[in-house]
Protein backbone atom coordinates (compact mmCIF):
# COMPACT_ATOMS: atom_id res chain seq x y z
CA UNK A 1 0.00 0.00 0.00
CA UNK A 2 1.49 3.38 -1.01
CA UNK A 3 1.99 5.86 1.83
CA UNK A 4 -0.17 8.99 1.71
CA UNK A 5 1.70 12.23 0.96
CA UNK A 6 0.97 14.14 4.12
CA UNK A 7 4.48 15.53 4.69
CA UNK A 8 5.30 17.08 1.31
CA UNK A 9 7.82 19.92 1.71
CA UNK A 10 8.09 19.43 5.49
CA UNK A 11 11.55 19.46 7.03
CA UNK A 12 11.93 16.76 9.68
CA UNK A 13 14.68 15.60 12.03
CA UNK A 14 14.80 12.18 13.68
CA UNK A 15 17.31 11.38 16.43
CA UNK A 16 18.24 7.73 16.69
CA UNK A 17 17.61 7.69 12.94
CA UNK A 18 20.41 5.17 12.40
CA UNK A 19 18.56 2.14 13.73
CA UNK A 20 15.30 0.43 14.61
CA UNK A 21 12.33 2.70 15.21
CA UNK A 22 14.17 5.92 14.25
CA UNK A 23 15.23 4.42 10.91
CA UNK A 24 11.67 3.30 10.16
CA UNK A 25 10.40 6.80 11.00
CA UNK A 26 12.93 8.34 8.57
CA UNK A 27 11.79 5.94 5.85
CA UNK A 28 8.10 6.61 6.45
CA UNK A 29 8.55 10.40 6.55
CA UNK A 30 10.56 10.32 3.30
CA UNK A 31 7.90 8.13 1.66
CA UNK A 32 5.32 10.76 2.64
CA UNK A 33 7.34 13.45 0.86
CA UNK A 34 9.31 15.00 3.75
CA UNK A 35 12.95 16.04 3.69
CA UNK A 36 14.62 14.05 6.46
CA UNK A 37 17.65 14.83 8.61
CA UNK A 38 18.90 11.52 10.00
CA UNK A 39 20.55 12.35 13.34
CA UNK A 40 22.51 9.80 15.34
CA UNK A 41 25.65 9.40 17.43
CA UNK A 42 26.56 6.54 15.07
CA UNK A 43 27.13 8.32 11.76
CA UNK A 44 27.83 5.09 9.84
CA UNK A 45 24.42 3.66 10.61
CA UNK A 46 22.82 7.07 10.00
CA UNK A 47 24.42 7.03 6.54
CA UNK A 48 22.98 3.56 5.93
CA UNK A 49 19.55 4.96 6.71
CA UNK A 50 20.21 7.89 4.39
CA UNK A 51 21.00 5.52 1.51
CA UNK A 52 17.67 3.76 2.05
CA UNK A 53 15.51 6.88 1.80
CA UNK A 54 13.31 7.51 -1.25
CA UNK A 55 13.75 10.85 -3.05
CA UNK A 56 10.71 10.86 -5.28
CA UNK A 57 9.46 14.41 -4.86
CA UNK A 58 10.70 17.79 -6.01
CA UNK A 59 12.80 19.65 -3.48
CA UNK A 60 13.20 16.59 -1.27
CA UNK A 61 16.67 16.68 0.27
CA UNK A 62 17.86 14.27 2.95
CA UNK A 63 21.01 14.52 5.05
CA UNK A 64 22.88 13.12 8.04
CA UNK A 65 23.98 15.00 11.12
CA UNK A 66 26.03 13.46 13.91
CA UNK A 67 24.65 14.27 17.35
CA UNK A 68 25.15 13.26 20.97
CA UNK A 69 21.69 13.95 22.34
CA UNK A 70 22.79 14.23 25.97
CA UNK A 71 25.03 17.21 25.14
CA UNK A 72 23.40 20.63 24.94
CA UNK A 73 26.24 21.91 22.79
CA UNK A 74 25.93 19.02 20.33
CA UNK A 75 22.14 19.34 20.03
CA UNK A 76 22.34 23.10 19.51
CA UNK A 77 25.07 22.65 16.91
CA UNK A 78 22.86 20.14 15.11
CA UNK A 79 19.92 22.56 14.93
CA UNK A 80 22.23 25.35 13.69
CA UNK A 81 23.66 23.02 11.03
CA UNK A 82 20.15 22.13 9.86
CA UNK A 83 19.12 25.78 9.68
CA UNK A 84 22.24 26.65 7.66
CA UNK A 85 21.67 23.76 5.27
CA UNK A 86 17.93 24.22 4.74
CA UNK A 87 17.40 27.93 5.59
CA UNK A 88 14.67 26.98 8.07
CA UNK A 89 14.31 25.01 11.31
CA UNK A 90 12.75 21.52 11.20
CA UNK A 91 9.00 21.73 11.74
CA UNK A 92 8.79 18.08 12.80
CA UNK A 93 11.17 16.41 15.22
CA UNK A 94 11.19 12.90 16.63
CA UNK A 95 13.32 11.99 19.67
CA UNK A 96 13.94 8.31 19.01
CA UNK A 97 17.52 8.11 20.35
CA UNK A 98 17.50 5.89 23.41
CA UNK A 99 19.48 3.31 25.35
CA UNK A 100 18.99 0.65 27.99
CA UNK A 101 21.37 -0.40 30.78
CA UNK A 102 19.34 -3.02 32.59
CA UNK A 103 19.97 -4.24 36.14
CA UNK A 104 17.89 -4.99 39.21
CA UNK A 105 17.29 -2.02 41.50
CA UNK A 106 19.28 -3.65 44.29
CA UNK A 107 22.36 -3.94 42.06
CA UNK A 108 22.15 -0.93 39.76
CA UNK A 109 25.19 1.33 39.59
CA UNK A 110 24.60 5.07 39.89
CA UNK A 111 26.42 5.63 36.58
CA UNK A 112 24.00 3.36 34.71
CA UNK A 113 21.02 5.18 36.19
CA UNK A 114 22.49 8.56 35.26
CA UNK A 115 23.47 7.61 31.70
CA UNK A 116 20.03 6.25 30.78
CA UNK A 117 18.35 9.36 32.18
CA UNK A 118 20.85 11.61 30.37
CA UNK A 119 20.25 10.05 26.95
CA UNK A 120 16.55 9.22 27.14
CA UNK A 121 15.14 12.07 29.22
CA UNK A 122 17.66 14.91 29.09
CA UNK A 123 18.27 14.18 25.40
CA UNK A 124 14.54 14.57 24.74
CA UNK A 125 14.49 17.81 26.73
CA UNK A 126 17.47 19.26 24.85
CA UNK A 127 16.05 18.42 21.43
CA UNK A 128 12.56 19.66 22.29
CA UNK A 129 13.99 22.91 23.65
CA UNK A 130 16.40 23.56 20.77
CA UNK A 131 13.85 22.82 18.03
CA UNK A 132 11.01 24.74 19.66
CA UNK A 133 13.28 27.76 20.31
CA UNK A 134 14.29 27.77 16.64
CA UNK A 135 10.67 27.44 15.51
CA UNK A 136 9.48 30.27 17.77
CA UNK A 137 12.37 32.52 16.69
CA UNK A 138 11.63 31.89 13.00
CA UNK A 139 7.94 32.73 13.41
CA UNK A 140 7.01 29.38 11.90
CA UNK A 141 3.22 28.92 12.13
CA UNK A 142 3.28 25.27 13.15
CA UNK A 143 5.40 22.44 14.42
CA UNK A 144 5.00 18.88 15.62
CA UNK A 145 7.28 17.48 18.30
CA UNK A 146 7.09 13.73 18.80
CA UNK A 147 8.77 12.06 21.74
CA UNK A 148 9.31 8.35 22.26
CA UNK A 149 8.39 7.02 25.67
CA UNK A 150 7.66 3.39 26.41
CA UNK A 151 4.82 1.38 27.84
CA UNK A 152 7.19 0.41 30.67
CA UNK A 153 7.24 4.06 31.76
CA UNK A 154 3.60 3.49 32.72
CA UNK A 155 3.63 -0.03 34.10
CA UNK A 156 7.28 -0.58 35.16
CA UNK A 157 9.47 -3.48 34.15
CA UNK A 158 11.76 -5.70 36.20
CA UNK A 159 15.41 -4.75 35.64
CA UNK A 160 14.60 -1.35 34.15
CA UNK A 161 14.30 1.07 37.04
CA UNK A 162 16.47 3.60 35.18
CA UNK A 163 14.79 3.13 31.81
CA UNK A 164 11.20 3.16 33.09
CA UNK A 165 11.91 6.30 35.15
CA UNK A 166 13.41 8.03 32.09
CA UNK A 167 10.43 7.10 29.94
CA UNK A 168 7.86 8.21 32.54
CA UNK A 169 9.78 11.49 32.57
CA UNK A 170 9.49 11.77 28.80
CA UNK A 171 5.69 11.60 29.07
CA UNK A 172 5.57 14.32 31.73
CA UNK A 173 7.93 16.49 29.71
CA UNK A 174 5.76 16.05 26.61
CA UNK A 175 2.52 17.00 28.36
CA UNK A 176 4.13 20.12 29.87
CA UNK A 177 5.75 21.13 26.58
CA UNK A 178 2.33 20.73 24.90
CA UNK A 179 0.79 23.18 27.37
CA UNK A 180 3.58 25.73 27.00
CA UNK A 181 4.05 25.54 23.23
CA UNK A 182 0.43 25.41 22.00
CA UNK A 183 0.27 29.18 21.77
CA UNK A 184 3.12 29.06 19.22
CA UNK A 185 1.31 26.49 17.09
CA UNK A 186 3.61 23.70 18.21
CA UNK A 187 2.02 20.36 19.12
CA UNK A 188 3.82 17.82 21.32
CA UNK A 189 2.84 14.19 21.56
CA UNK A 190 4.42 10.98 22.75
CA UNK A 191 4.38 7.47 21.31
CA UNK A 192 4.63 4.57 23.74
CA UNK A 193 5.92 1.47 21.98
CA UNK A 194 5.43 -1.88 23.65
CA UNK A 195 7.91 -4.56 22.55
CA UNK A 196 9.18 -3.89 19.02
CA UNK A 197 11.65 -6.01 17.04
CA UNK A 198 14.84 -3.87 16.90
CA UNK A 199 18.50 -4.18 17.96
CA UNK A 200 17.39 -2.92 21.38
CA UNK A 201 15.10 -5.90 22.02
CA UNK A 202 17.60 -8.35 20.49
CA UNK A 203 19.38 -8.13 23.85
CA UNK A 204 16.34 -9.50 25.69
CA UNK A 205 16.63 -13.27 26.41
CA UNK A 206 14.39 -15.49 24.23
CA UNK A 207 12.65 -16.88 27.31
CA UNK A 208 11.55 -13.38 28.32
CA UNK A 209 10.43 -12.52 24.75
CA UNK A 210 8.30 -15.69 24.65
CA UNK A 211 6.73 -14.81 27.98
CA UNK A 212 5.99 -11.24 26.84
CA UNK A 213 4.59 -12.44 23.50
CA UNK A 214 2.14 -14.68 25.33
CA UNK A 215 0.82 -11.57 27.13
CA UNK A 216 0.30 -9.48 23.96
CA UNK A 217 -3.36 -9.61 22.83
CA UNK A 218 -2.35 -9.28 19.15
CA UNK A 219 -0.02 -12.24 19.70
CA UNK A 220 3.28 -10.89 18.38
CA UNK A 221 5.97 -8.25 18.85
CA UNK A 222 5.56 -5.04 16.87
CA UNK A 223 7.53 -3.91 13.84
CA UNK A 224 9.40 -0.56 13.75
CA UNK A 225 7.24 0.47 10.77
CA UNK A 226 4.15 0.16 12.97
CA UNK A 227 5.56 2.75 15.38
CA UNK A 228 6.54 4.89 12.39
CA UNK A 229 2.89 4.82 11.21
CA UNK A 230 1.82 6.46 14.48
CA UNK A 231 4.65 9.02 14.21
CA UNK A 232 3.62 9.95 10.65
CA UNK A 233 0.05 10.53 11.85
CA UNK A 234 1.31 12.75 14.70
CA UNK A 235 3.63 14.64 12.34
CA UNK A 236 0.88 15.32 9.82
CA UNK A 237 -2.11 17.63 9.81
CA UNK A 238 -4.34 14.58 10.29
CA UNK A 239 -3.57 15.07 14.00
CA UNK A 240 -3.90 18.89 13.95
CA UNK A 241 -6.28 18.97 16.95
CA UNK A 242 -4.23 16.52 19.03
CA UNK A 243 -1.60 17.65 21.52
CA UNK A 244 -0.29 16.45 24.88
CA UNK A 245 -1.32 12.83 24.37
CA UNK A 246 0.48 9.51 24.47
CA UNK A 247 -0.36 6.89 21.85
CA UNK A 248 0.33 3.29 22.86
CA UNK A 249 1.68 1.10 20.06
CA UNK A 250 1.76 -2.17 21.95
CA UNK A 251 -0.49 -4.75 20.30
CA UNK A 252 -2.72 -4.29 23.34
CA UNK A 253 -0.11 -5.17 25.96
CA UNK A 254 -1.14 -3.91 29.41
CA UNK A 255 -4.41 -2.36 28.25
CA UNK A 256 -6.54 -1.21 31.14
Q: Would you tell me which residues interact with ligand NAD (CB under 6 A)? A: 15-16, 18-22, 40-42, 45, 67-70, 96-99, 119-120, 148, 150, 193, 195-196, 198-201
Q: How far is the CB of 50 from ligand NAD (least distance, A)?
A: 13
Spatial separation of the C-alpha atoms in residues 42 and 2, rounded to whole Å = 30
Is there a contact between 136 and 205 (Cβ–Cβ < 8 Å)?
A: no
Select 7 or 146, whichever has its Cβ closest to ligand NAD: 146
Give the chain's length: 256
Spatial separation of the C-alpha atoms in residues 183 and 181, rounded to whole Å = 5
* Count of Cβ atoms closer than 10 Å to residue 56 Cβ: 10
Does residue 163 carry a catalytic annotation?
A: yes
Closest to 132 measured CA to CA, from 84, 87, 82, 92: 92
Select 120 or 140, whichever has its Cβ closest to ligand NAD: 120
Spatial separation of the C-alpha atoms in residues 228 and 230, rounded to whole Å = 5
Select 132 or 147, whichever has its Cβ closest to ligand NAD: 147
Select 100 or 140, whichever has its Cβ closest to ligand NAD: 100
Q: How far is the CB of 98 from ligand NAD (least distance, A)?
A: 2
Select 33 or 98, whichever has its Cβ closest to ligand NAD: 98
Q: What's the chain's Rg over C-alpha atoms?
A: 17
Q: How far is the CB of 62 from ligand NAD (least distance, A)?
A: 16
Spatial separation of the C-alpha atoms in residues 231 and 73, rounded to whole Å = 27
Closest to 72 measured CA to CA, from 124, 28, 35: 124
Q: How far is the CB of 84 from ligand NAD (least distance, A)?
A: 20
Q: How far is the CB of 93 from ligand NAD (least distance, A)?
A: 13
Active-site annotation holder among 57, 86, 163, 241: 163
Angstrom distances, CA of residue 230 to CA of 68, 224, 225: 25, 10, 9
Q: How far is the CB of 113 from ligand NAD (least distance, A)?
A: 15
Q: For 131, left (φ over 0), alpha (ψ -120 to 50), or beta?
A: alpha
Select 17 or 89, whichever has its Cβ closest to ligand NAD: 17
Which uninterrupted H or E stretch holds 182? none
Point out the residues that are catalytic.
163
Amino acid sequence: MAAPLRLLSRLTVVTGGGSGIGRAVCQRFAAEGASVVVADVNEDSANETLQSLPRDYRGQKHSVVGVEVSSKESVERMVTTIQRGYFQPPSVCVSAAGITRDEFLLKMEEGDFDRVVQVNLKGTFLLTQAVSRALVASGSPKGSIITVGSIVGKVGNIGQVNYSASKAGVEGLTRTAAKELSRFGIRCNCVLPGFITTPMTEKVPEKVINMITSMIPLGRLGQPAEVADACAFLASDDSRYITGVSIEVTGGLFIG
